[in-house]
Structure 1
Amino acid sequence: MVDNLARKLDNAPKANIEISEAPVKWCSVSLAEMVERGKRLEASVFDVEAWQAWDLINNNKYPITSLGGVNGLTTSYTCGRFKRIWVKKSEYPIYQPSSIVDIKPTPDGYISKKTNVNIDSLRVHKGQILLTCSGTIGKTSLVSQTLDNAIFSHDLLRIDCKNPVDIGYIYTYLKSKIGSQILITNKYGAVITHIESEHLDTVPIPNAPDAIKSKINDLIIQSYALRDESNALIDQAQALLVKELNLPPISEIKVDTLDKSKSIQAFNVKLSEMAGRADASYHVPIVDAIVDILKKNAAEVTTVGDERISSDIILPGRFKRVYVEEGYGVTFFSGKNISELDPSDKRYLSFAQHDKKIKDELTIKQNMILVTCSGTIGNTVLVPKHWDNWAMTHDIIRLVPTSDLYGYLYIWLQSEYCNAIIQSYAYGSVVQHIEKEHIKSCPVPILKNQDVQKQINDLALQANEKRYQAYLLEQEALKVLDEEVIYAE
């Protein structure tokens, strides 16, 4: 019986499995370098990509200079550590370093003027290159109109270029794969866990002709000008929405049900209004106050789930991810990068392992609205053209709006008023979550003036188009850097 089974297995047809080979990563290591690294033979000790990046730059056709130092292209500084005094509201909003890569950064909070630091020394200025230097290091941005004079914490390197034509060129170099690889490693591949100004003294950069630098600089300056314009359009759309709905600043919305005579905030909730939720955050009075204002000033208050508003709401299930090298899978990124123009930690999800899930649940399409639903709740973005057919994590709710309302719906969902409503849906003590049913029940005001509603919609779409054009310009700058500098022969 066992023999018969064995014969059947031997005669079974063999599956013809083809495996696409990823490029082999390799480098040469001298005996002296191996001894210097503690006589270690493991490949992990020698960062292959960093090694090859150093070799590529050192053999560049143009003279090599350094980013920093006396003879370098830049000067840079960080600010001393300080203890922040947080307040509810002040004239000093402060941003976290990680937000520099967001298209439209929002402050983390407000610090008091009594904070023991020279607040003006924390400000960044137009034309500076910003670089995160602690925690997640190497994130790069350029200060344009959006961030000019903004206050940041100490964990940010402020880089000033000695020659204005170098601004866009150095920014692009730091954004490039080769430049960023060299920045975060030393010559022997050991990862730098914290970047100081002096580290830039040893970072090599090809000193390309001014004509090439100028070409790259112009592309980057135009790219950031378009981002500023897109942010101005979003602000204009928000102002129209607030004016049409007669919404006061959220801090000034009166909450009649709140008993202010008590030392703690307390309010009553009817049993019929519990909706199966006993957590106080679900029943905060400001949500009802916002909805009351909407009902008074809108033609109608419906919900996201209304078929006139959205045709589908998708929340993928959890799954174990299989990542592959670039070129062997679909572009994939997480919710923490949802606010970036070009997500900084893109990975590539295997087609072979996740083909059906990618097609049915994970793929995002242009003009979808994405809402973060785990950890940080309620961050919202309108999918730009260059994200079309990319994939995103399961911790994102995908909202498919009707064809003529996606711009307007995006402006409403990312407003501070709707965000307050979305935050009330959150559940979980450590990591908070919301479900697609919560977004489905979220109120949406239909304006009395349809012309204003269309204007808001069009402004949002124009802003998204400008962001797409800004992306294309930055990609063109990276292409020029690669073809005419880094890989030039």
Structure 2
Amino acid sequence: MVNNVQNSAPISPLAQPFNWVSVPLEEVINAGLRLEASVYATEAEKAKLKIKNGRYGSISLSQLVENCFYPGRFKRDYRKKSENLMGFIGSAEMLATNPEPQKWMPPNDVVSVIRGQLLLSRSGTIGKVTYVNETLSKLLVSEHAIRISAPKFAGYLYAFFKSEYGYLITNSLTHGSVVSQIEPSHILSIKIPNAPDTLKAEIHQLVMDSFALRDESNRLLQQAEQLLKTALKLPALEVFEQRDNQPYTFSISSQQLSGRFEANFHHPVVQKIEQHLKQHAQAVSSLADSELVSSIFLPGRYKRYYVSPEFGVPFLGGKEILELDPRGEKYLSLKQHGDRIAEELKLKENMILVTRSGTIGKVVLIPSYWENWVASEHLLRVNPKSSELAGYLYVWLNSPWALPLIQRHTYGSVIFEIDQHHLANVSVPLLEKSIMQEINELALQANKLRSQAFEKEQQALAKFESVL
């Protein structure tokens, strides 16, 4: 009993490890007389020294950058989606491999982006970087992303910001007591490794190849969705959302209640989509069909033990799953969770993940490089019966017409959720075998291209590490 009491006693603050670093006065002056400890954080200082003492020395980032800025604040003119509008995304959404905007605005030069720029998140979650490829160039991006123009070696700078060193240094320069931020002047003052131009060019090209593969992957998925749309004669989702009566009311039969009294469950948009599917699909099944899906699984809750990367496996949350590399700082302990990982947590290629809480209905088809990683219990696992169906099921579930069918099952007053039983009831239209096969192959090929894009990016980061 005594031992238990002793073990549960709180640790004195004085017993906690104390980190400190000394800096010369000259560095404080060069940093604009900033006195926040984070500017001179121990890990960031180590990263700076690593770059300074590297084999090729260092160079100011400003010497490779033509322009570095972010737009001013402006009144946002959100409108309902139409052909003449552009998607508007924030600094978190821009990191997705294929961003899907939820807000739409008229074309606006203030927040437009140019192909070839780097975008760096500057507030909230700071230091996340992406490159403006063909996909991203068609969207508007909020003022919370710094635009960096580096015509010659943008890929090299991307590798720097993406590396551990770049991330540590960038985050050490933040300011603000409530919402942390970073300014272009802070970015331009950063020192980066001055690798030979030939090596810079190699790293740059690997990054360009990675983003070109992402573009091609997105084109294939767009082609697959268009095939689905044509085969089912689906109009734009907005057509289903049109209504004439104000206020918006509707009635249903008591036989259709299914034990649910929320209006959202019986929304006319859902009814219209399901009626359309019945009219234009060869047949309508559901995810509960054992001919389509072998299982839909939801892991139980458990206390997680996170460890350093060498002792664990990447742990993915629902927020990052749309990114090419969703790995964050969390690695689940193999020692503590080995059995659970093997039995229910590890991911497999062509498994489909669906977010079940918070933002419900985000869908991803597991690529080969996620194999044996693990994901949180906030993600439902759908195991297609075979790889011949995985791509088709993904394209349908990821389509704008499936989302209302998923979200109709939402329950909860504070945190909205769905579970595996709800997802099993989501309708799946069946088409001619040849069309389903073509859609499936396009989706699987798109996923292979994403795996190749990941490999190219990892090669670029490995080459960058060799510079230090």
TM-score by length of 1: 0.85
Mapping of residues 179-258 of structure 1, within 5 Å: 179-186=166-173, 193-253=180-240
Structure-1 residue corresponding to 2:389:
405
- The answer to whether residue 158 in structure 2 is matched with residue 158 in structure 1 is no
Unaligned runs of 5+ in 1: 1-24, 37-42, 114-118
1:167 Cα shift?
0.9
SS of residue in 1 equivalent to 2:88: strand
Higher Cα radius of gyration: 1
Are 2:43 and 1:49 aligned?
Answer: yes
For the residue of structure 1 that corresponds to 2:402, the secondary structure is helix
CA distance in 1, matches of 2:224, 2:106: 31
Aligned residue number for residue 465 of structure 1? 448
Select which of 63, 67, 70 maps to 1:75: 67
**Conservation of the 8 A alpha-carbon contact between 1:335 and 1:395:** yes
Root mean square deviation of aligned Cα: 2.6
Aligned-pair CA distance for 1:63: 3.2
* Cross-structure match for 1:435: 419
CA contact (8 A) 2:65 2:148 kept: no
Q: Which runs of 5+ in 2 are unaligned?
A: 1-16, 29-36
Change (3 A) 1:45 1:476: closer
- Tell whether the 8 Å contact from 1:63 to 1:207 is kept in structure 2 after alignment: yes
Cα distance, 1:474–1:191 mapped onto 2, change above 3 Å: farther
1:96 maps to 2:85: no
Number of matched residues? 441
Query: Distance between the aligned counterparts of 2:70 and 2:91, measured in 1?
Result: 12
Report SS of the residue matched to 1:243: helix
Partner SS state of residue 308, structure 1: coil
Greater shift in the superposed pair: 165-174 or 103-112:
103-112
How far did residue 155 of structure 1 move? 0.7
Pairing 1:65–2:59 present: yes
Deviation at 1:424, TM superposition (A): 0.8
Map 1:314-353 → 2, pairs under 5 A: 314-353=297-336
Mean Cα deviation higher: 191-200 or 80-89: 191-200
In structure 2, the residue matched to 1:297 is 280
Q: Cα distance, 1:338 vs. partner? A: 0.9
Provide closer, same or farther for how the CA distance between residues 84 and 348 of structure 1 changes in structure 2, counting only shifts above 3 A.
Answer: same
Distance 1:296 1:194 in 2: 53
Equivalent position amino acid for 1:52 in 2:
K
Shift of 1:430: 2.5
SS in 2 for 1:174: helix
The code of the aligned residue for 1:334 comes to G
Report the equivalent of 1:120.
Answer: 109
Cα distance between partner residues in 1 of 2:121 and 2:178:
15
Confirm or deny: 8 A CA contact 1:168 1:220 kept in the other structure.
Answer: yes
Q: Which amino acid aligns with 2:263?
A: A
CA contact (8 A) 1:184 1:192 kept: no
CA contact (8 A) 1:304 1:439 kept: yes
The runs of at least 4 aligned residues of structure 1 exceeding 3 Å deviation read 25-33, 43-48, 71-74
Q: 1:85 aligns with which of 73, 77, 89?
A: 77
- Distance in 2 (CA, whole Å) between partners of 1:74 and 1:357 is 51
**What's the CA shift for 1:247?**
1.0
Q: Does 1:110 align with 2:97?
A: no
| 2:157 pairs with 1:170 | yes
State the distance in 2 between where 1:319 and 1:400 align: 22
